[in-house]
Amino acid sequence: MESYLLEWANLLLRWAHVITAIAWIGSSFYFVFLDSSLTPPVDEDLKKQGVSGELWAVHGGGFYHPVKFASKPPVMPSHLHWFYWESYSTWITGFALLTVSYLWNASAYLIDKSKMDWQPSTAIIVALSFFVVFWLLYDAICRVFGKGKNGDAIVGAGVAVLVCVASYLACHLFAGRAAFLLVGAMIATAMSANVFFWIIPGQRTVVADIKAGRPIDPIHGLRGKQRSVHNTYFTLPVLFAMLSNHYSFTWSHPQNWLILILMMFASAAIRQFFVLRHGYKLGRNRHPIAYALVGCVVIVGVIVWLKPAPLDVKPIATKSGADSALYTKATSINDYLKVSQIIESRCYACHGAQVQMKNVRLDSPTLVKQHAQSVYQQVVMLKAMPMNNSTGITDEERALVKQWFEAGAKTE
């Protein structure tokens, strides 16, 4: 029953997390586009009101005319829409999902004993410390180096180094699947912390100063803008780290930390292309296609690098004539006997009579036949099982499972 309820919690939290993340990323992307696409106002009345940029757009059958004020509107409206619950809801649902999916069963999902053989409580504490330590170091880099003419470049380089170090450590301390997710969650935590500690407090201070008639300190706008820009470049790397846990050829590789770094770099470069493209359309900068090409080249390079080597497995032998049917049946039975031995030694620990993870049991021919498709997908195609390869299945054994399944998955 516990496993069943955890599955429902996982599904509902994942659903909520995706919905809130779409809302947050969508609003973030929109405002980056808006800032890059604003043009100086033409209407004299708008200029007198202090409007620094405007945009005309059409969507859903209607015309929209958003404007941006250089410092403050002439009259503070009675109602302001604040963009922060999208961020907070995304982090809350994401952390709850991480707890249900990884921290709740840390011994199975978080720990790879070939890397670190530690207690679940220790692994959980270290994993959570990544969030806190990364935020403190990232925030310190922004505070100390985020000023002056070359501040943005220095901060960018410092944060890139910090992400690389964190990725290397995570992939050497935790199971690959969990390491990728932790790095993504770590960066996403910094993104939400930017909203919570800097962007929203700065905006509230500005609104309060306007209402009180006090001078506005421009530092709040500069800090908020800096962290918002960081968040938009973090977005695609985080999405890759989150989605990659479904594709074991990335996180199960011996150099998984380098794969993670390269893919995050490529996604950030592609995001740079889209950010600059808005300004290019208005003649503000050169065409940024080079960033997109760099990102694509890196991705193609990773694809070529990870290309699997062909396994030297002998095909199932065949005979012709009167003995063909008997020979085929004997071969099928022999193949299943080999596969059943693999399943017994590699899979029974989690899918046997005592424990049935994901409600899957494989300790009889009937049950193996029932779950043959899932076994093939998880063991052969995704190589996600056994979890973290805790039982030491070999490539040759995976190949035997592949041969058995593709021959019809016969158990008798």
Is 286 a member of any domain? yes
Does residue 328 share a domain with residue 254? Answer: no
Residue pLDDT, tens place only, 349-371: 788 777 667 678 888 888 888 88
Does residue 232 share a domain with residue 184? Answer: yes
Of the candidates 238, 272, 305, which is a domain's last residue? 305
Containing structural domain, residue 158: 2-71+82-305
Does residue 215 share a domain with residue 133? Answer: yes
Answer whether 0.75 is exceeded by the pTM.
yes
Residue with tokens 């109602």: 79
Does residue 267 share a domain with residue 344? Answer: no
The encoded tokens of residue 154 equal: 């220095």
Cα–Cα distance for residue pair 278/291, rounded to 1 Å: 14
**Most confidently modeled range among 29-33, 52-56, 219-223, 294-298:** 294-298
243 with 264: CB under 8 angstroms?
no
The pLDDT value given to residue 13: 93
Confidence of residue 163 (pLDDT cuts 50, 70, 90): very high
Of the candidates 240, 271, 305, which is a domain's last residue? 305
Does residue 148 share a domain with residue 65? Answer: yes
Does residue 47 share a domain with residue 187? Answer: yes
pLDDT for 381 beyond 90? no
Which residues 6+ apart lie within 8 Å of 41 measured at CB?
47, 51, 52, 53, 54, 67
Amino acid at 371: H
Does residue 329 share a domain with residue 289? Answer: no
* Longest CA span, the chain: 99
Return mean pLDDT, the chain: 87
Quote the percentage of the chain above a pLDDT of 90.
51
The count of other CB atoms within 10 Å of the CB of residue 238 is 24
Mapped onto helix, strand or coil, the DSSP state of residue 68 is strand
Does residue 354 share a domain with residue 259? Answer: no
Is 60 a member of any domain? yes
The pLDDT value given to residue 101: 86
Is 172 a member of any domain? yes
Mapped onto helix, strand or coil, the DSSP state of residue 411 is coil
Which residues 6+ apart lie within 8 Å of 400 measured at CB?
313, 335, 338, 339, 342
pLDDT for 70 beyond 50? yes
Helical packing angle, 176-194 and 256-280, nearest 10°: 40
Does residue 123 share a domain with residue 248? Answer: yes
Instruction: For residue 412, give the nearest of 294, 196, 404, 16 by alpha carbon.
Output: 404
H or E element in which residue 58 lies: strand 57-59
Q: State the Cα angle at 272 between 270 and 273, rounded to 5°.
A: 65
pLDDT for 79 beyond 60? yes
Cα–Cα distance for residue pair 131/138, rounded to 1 Å: 11
Q: State the Cα angle at 226 between 221 and 230, rounded to 5°.
A: 145
Query: Higher confidence at residue 313 or residue 387?
Result: 387
pLDDT for 171 beyond 70? yes
CA 59 → CA 63, 65, 140, 271, distances in Å?
A: 6, 11, 41, 24
Confidence of residue 245 (pLDDT cuts 50, 70, 90): confident
Mean pLDDT to the nearest integer, 170-194: 95
401 with 339: CB under 8 angstroms?
yes
Instruction: For residue 145, give the nearest of 158, 136, 133 by alpha carbon.
Output: 158
Is 260 a member of any domain? yes
The pLDDT value given to residue 332: 55
Burial 268-296 (b: 16+ CB within 10 A, else e): bbbbbbbbbbbeeeeeeeeebeebbebbe
82 with 200: CB under 8 angstroms?
yes
The pLDDT value given to residue 410: 81
Mean pLDDT to the nearest integer, 243-266: 91
The pLDDT value given to residue 316: 46
Lowest mean pLDDT among 30-44, 165-179, 354-368: 354-368
Is 259 a member of any domain? yes
CA 196 → CA 57, 93, 187, 230, distances in Å?
A: 30, 16, 14, 14
The pLDDT value given to residue 282: 66
202 with 84: CB under 8 angstroms?
no
Is 218 a member of any domain? yes
Does residue 241 share a domain with residue 367? Answer: no
H or E element in which residue 209 lies: helix 200-212
Cα–Cα distance for residue pair 178/309, rounded to 1 Å: 25
Of the candidates 305, 338, 370, which is a domain's last residue? 305
Amino acid at 34: L
Amino acid at 30: Y
**Cα first-last separation, the chain:** 32
Is 318 a member of any domain? no
Does residue 336 share a domain with residue 301? Answer: no
Q: How many CA atoms lie within 13 A of 63 on its CB side?
A: 3
Does residue 300 share a domain with residue 328? Answer: no
**Residues, the chain, total?**
412
Is 311 a member of any domain? no
190 with 227: CB under 8 angstroms?
no
**Structural domains of the chain, count:** 2
